[in-house]
A and B are shown apart, each in its own frame.
Chain A
Amino acid sequence: MAPLLPGIQLEQIAGAVPAWRAAVDAHRWRSGCEAVAHAGGRLAALWASDERDAAGGFSVRALLVTFEGLACLELALPEQAPAYPDLSDLFACAARMQRAAFDLVGVRAANPQGATPDARGWLRHGAWRDDVYPLRRDVRPGATLAPDENRYAFVQVAGDGVHEVPVGPVHAGIIEPGHFRFSIVGERVLRLEERLGYKHKGIEKRFESLSLQEAARLAGRVSGDSTVAYAWAYAMALEGIAGMQPGRRAVFLRALLLERERIANHLGDLGALGNDGGLAFGLAQFSRLKEDLLRSNARVFDHRYLMDRVVPGGVACDVDPAAARALLEQGEQLASELRSLRAIYYDHSGLQDRCITCGRLTPRTAALLGIVGLAARASGHAMDARCHPGYAPYGELEPAVASHRNGDVAARIVVRFEEAFESLRLQRLILERLPEGELRAPLGAAADGAFGIGWVEGWRGEVIVALHAGAGGRVRRCHPHDPSWQNWPALEHAVIGNIVPDFPLINKSFNLSYAGVDL
């Protein structure tokens, strides 16, 4: 059943997840979002497109999450001075998405007074001029743009003894680049302001020079640590457009790959969290277990991180009975190792002292910020797209949602342990019940202008791909959306009042993607 949005006629989008769309005017754009916000829904993604070569002007889309599923509101904007009603008062996470949409397409969010709440660039650091919008269709795919000055007004905190600590973009570890501006008094953080966008490499523009088939590879490289989630979300969107469903064996194998990606990342994070908490033993043990898992991925699936194993129409790998037995056996061993390491982590007073109450994000703040995924679950919000609304094959696997309400680093550790155990249980179920059938089915034609959506619960949170097909089997527009869009602002809140030396630990406990949001 379609979500009820007053005055808005929703039309179903074909595909594996419940999703609807509607063209709206500026008034309904706003009232529709208000209705969703007041009913406890949230904003999943917001992106803009250049439609001057088709319907005319520009467009902006808001993808909303309601109880029933996704609702995509589409607002057409005029060619001259395109502006749309600001959503950042309803959904805090909209702010950065709106800034990115302006940088790329030149459509402006305006509040009732006609002002843009935050007019600073987000992705534009001076690599192109402020009157050029690279995602417009008159900018050629391989074009080089003239650079501009790179200035950015960080919010200043004034007062006795307040000073700033700038960190990055090149960080003091093996980490992705980004800039953190701390305003501190003594050791305590009064305010953290993130500036991201350093990795912006024109992914959305690149999509538009690829065929729908080729683009699957690019989707799998938006955020390498979530390659399975992205590849699946992309395939889901394209399969919806092509009006096909992958076979049962293929979706079971996809779930197997996704759960192994979840386990690998959780193992890596649990080790790094132990290390940042002063327990180097944890890093040694968990990185050993992760390596064991990656090596078996390489043996069975021919890629350590499972890149390009999920393909449009199905999967590009298989598990024979011998490999299934080996994976099951390894899963049992891993569960036993995890149990012993969990006991060590939970008993270690030094580690617990660092993690309990550190970097707390209360359930209320989490809700106000609209955060998602693992971090939301550790702050009392038991949301998981595998369980609700669910998509094949998870309906028959009945995954359990791990949750905790403390919202601190310790809670995010607990949720990771619980999810790793649950993923191992799911792996066992999948391998025991693996149905026979074809691995990859032909896709069929994608109609010019067709629209599809993929929605997959990756290890970090929900990964969404919105895909518009163009003429001749090309990508017209693709917006891949990482859960880090929602969760980066939450990190700014979680560190308030904590000491600066705890920042690495808090940051790691979220472990957000820079590549996924910089695009």
Chain B
Amino acid sequence: MHKILLKIAQVGLRSEPPPPADEVLRQGAARLNEEVLRLLGRALAIRHVDAGSCNGCELEIHALNNPYYNLEGLGIKFVASPRHADLLLVTGPVSRNMEEALRRTYDATPGPKLVVAVGDCGCDGGIFGENYASRGRAANVIPVDVAVPGCPPAPAAIMQAIVTAVTPVAAVKR
């Protein structure tokens, strides 16, 4: 036990401040009014859905929970069921084999629900595109509020997309 405590003391706090919201990432008009967002605050519950990624984006989503990004420190946490979620974080081009699962996950999420599409594949299908097995971007299957490009997008960029989704338009610095 003393070794664990010693290590914790030696390492100290590593968390960094979160990035600000960025209006560029928003897809279309903001759907949630300020009052809802104020109530929600940053106590946000996220359900991740991998709809067919290469698993690169998952690595960066994992990184959000490391001590540097410390997403949970902002009150944002990943939950095990869409029924507990406020926001869906969708990665990958949507494979035909995951299309129904993604729709059902979306339907199981209580409103008002937000969707953030992650990575080049989530934004436009990426290198995989659309074919007999891939529906391409997430917005081809469910409504998307914010999309963050990158292959994969860095954790700070994903964090920025999440923060943008829950920040009223008026509060985003231009």
A-side residues, CB < 8 A to B, are: 123, 125, 127-128, 134, 139, 141-145, 147, 169-170, 172-177, 197-203, 205-206, 217-218, 221-225, 227, 268, 281, 284-285, 287-288, 290-291, 294, 298, 304-305, 307, 340-341, 343-344, 347, 513-515, 518
- Assess the B53–A176 pair: CB atoms within 8 A: yes
- The one of A173, A221, A285 that contacts B54, using a Cβ cutoff of 8 Å: A221
- Assess the A224–B152 pair: CB atoms within 8 A: yes
The yes or no answer to B174 lying at the interface (CB within 8 A) is no
- Assess the B133–A291 pair: CB atoms within 8 A: no
Q: B11: which A residues are within 8 A, CB to CB?
A: 285, 288
Q: B14: which A residues are within 8 A, CB to CB?
A: 288
What distance in Å separates the Cβ of A279 from its nearest Cβ neighbour in chain B? 9
Complex Cα distance A260/B57, Å? 18
Q: A206: which B residues are within 8 A, CB to CB?
A: 127-129, 131
A202 and B133 in contact, given A125-B97, A197-B97, A307-B56 (Cβ under 8 angstroms): yes
Complex Cα distance A511/B53, Å? 16
- Assess the A203–B58 pair: CB atoms within 8 A: no
Q: B67: which A residues are within 8 A, CB to CB?
A: 284, 287-288, 291
Residue of A nearest to B53 (CB): A515
Binds A, one of B1-9, B19-27, B31-39, B162-170: B1-9
A176 and B58 in contact, given A127-B96, A340-B7 (Cβ under 8 angstroms): yes
Q: B92: which A residues are within 8 A, CB to CB?
A: 199, 201
- Assess the A176–B98 pair: CB atoms within 8 A: no
Known: A123-B97, A515-B54. 7 other contacts (CB 8 A): A142-B129, A175-B58, A198-B98, A205-B133, A221-B126, A224-B58, A225-B56
Complex Cα distance A144/B132, Å? 5
Q: A199: which B residues are within 8 A, CB to CB?
A: 50, 52-53, 92, 95, 97-98
A287 and B55 in contact, given A125-B97, A143-B131, A169-B98 (Cβ under 8 angstroms): no
Residue of B nearest to A177 (CB): B50
- Assess the B59–A305 pair: CB atoms within 8 A: yes
Complex Cα distance A199/B56, Å? 13
What distance in Å separates the Cβ of B166 from its nearest Cβ neighbour in chain A? 19
- The one of B51, B62, B97 that contacts A127, using a Cβ cutoff of 8 Å: B97
What distance in Å separates the Cβ of B58 from its nearest Cβ neighbour in chain A? 6
- Assess the B131–A222 pair: CB atoms within 8 A: no
Complex Cα distance A127/B132, Å? 8
A344 and B7 in contact, given A177-B98, A217-B127 (Cβ under 8 angstroms): yes
- Assess the B93–A201 pair: CB atoms within 8 A: yes
Residue of A nearest to B70 (CB): A284
Interface residues of B, CB < 8 Å — how many?
50
Complex Cα distance A225/B63, Å? 13
- Assess the A205–B97 pair: CB atoms within 8 A: no
- Assess the A291–B96 pair: CB atoms within 8 A: no
Among B3, B11, B52, B132, find the residue whose CB has the most chain A CB atoms closer than 10 A. B132
Q: B55: which A residues are within 8 A, CB to CB?
A: 176, 223-225, 513-515
Interface flags, B54-97, vs A, CB<8A=1, else 0? 11111111110111100000000010111000000000110111
Residue of A nearest to B134 (CB): A201
- The one of A173, A205, A305 that contacts B132, using a Cβ cutoff of 8 Å: A205
What distance in Å separates the Cβ of B149 from its nearest Cβ neighbour in chain A? 14
Complex Cα distance A205/B66, Å? 37
Complex Cα distance A294/B4, Å? 24
Complex Cα distance A307/B96, Å? 26
Interface members, chain B 145-170 (any A CB < 8 Å): 151-152, 154
Complex Cα distance A178/B7, Å? 37
Q: B61: which A residues are within 8 A, CB to CB?
A: 174
- Assess the A227–B8 pair: CB atoms within 8 A: no
- Assess the A202–B65 pair: CB atoms within 8 A: no
Complex Cα distance A147/B133, Å? 10
Residue of B nearest to A135 (CB): B132
Complex Cα distance A176/B91, Å? 10
The yes or no answer to B49 lying at the interface (CB within 8 A) is yes
- Assess the A143–B101 pair: CB atoms within 8 A: no
Nearest 4 CB-CB pairs, A to B?
A224-B56, A127-B96, A172-B80, A287-B66
- Assess the A224–B131 pair: CB atoms within 8 A: no
The yes or no answer to B137 lying at the interface (CB within 8 A) is no
A288 and B3 in contact, given A142-B131, A202-B131, A305-B59 (Cβ under 8 angstroms): no
Residue of A nearest to B93 (CB): A201
Q: B126: which A residues are within 8 A, CB to CB?
A: 221
Complex Cα distance A33/B101, Å? 40
What distance in Å separates the Cβ of B57 from its nearest Cβ neighbour in chain A? 7
Residue of A nearest to B129 (CB): A206
- Assess the B132–A268 pair: CB atoms within 8 A: no
- Assess the A170–B101 pair: CB atoms within 8 A: yes
What distance in Å separates the Cβ of B103 from its nearest Cβ neighbour in chain A? 11
- Assess the A174–B78 pair: CB atoms within 8 A: yes
Q: A173: which B residues are within 8 A, CB to CB?
A: 48, 78, 80
A221 and B127 in contact, given A127-B97, A143-B132 (Cβ under 8 angstroms): yes
- Assess the A224–B53 pair: CB atoms within 8 A: yes
A305 and B152 in contact, given A128-B132, A287-B66 (Cβ under 8 angstroms): yes
- Assess the B132–A145 pair: CB atoms within 8 A: yes
Among A177, A200, A285, A305, find the residue whose CB has the most chain B CB atoms closer than 10 A. A177
Interface members, chain B 113-139 (any A CB < 8 Å): 126-134
- Assess the B128–A201 pair: CB atoms within 8 A: yes
Q: B82: which A residues are within 8 A, CB to CB?
A: 170
Complex Cα distance A290/B152, Å? 16
Complex Cα distance A143/B82, Å? 32
Residue of B nearest to A143 (CB): B132
Can you offer 16 A-B residue contacts whose CB atoms are under 8 A? A170-B101, A172-B80, A198-B101, A199-B50, A202-B134, A203-B128, A221-B56, A223-B55, A284-B66, A287-B66, A287-B67, A288-B14, A307-B56, A341-B7, A344-B3, A518-B97
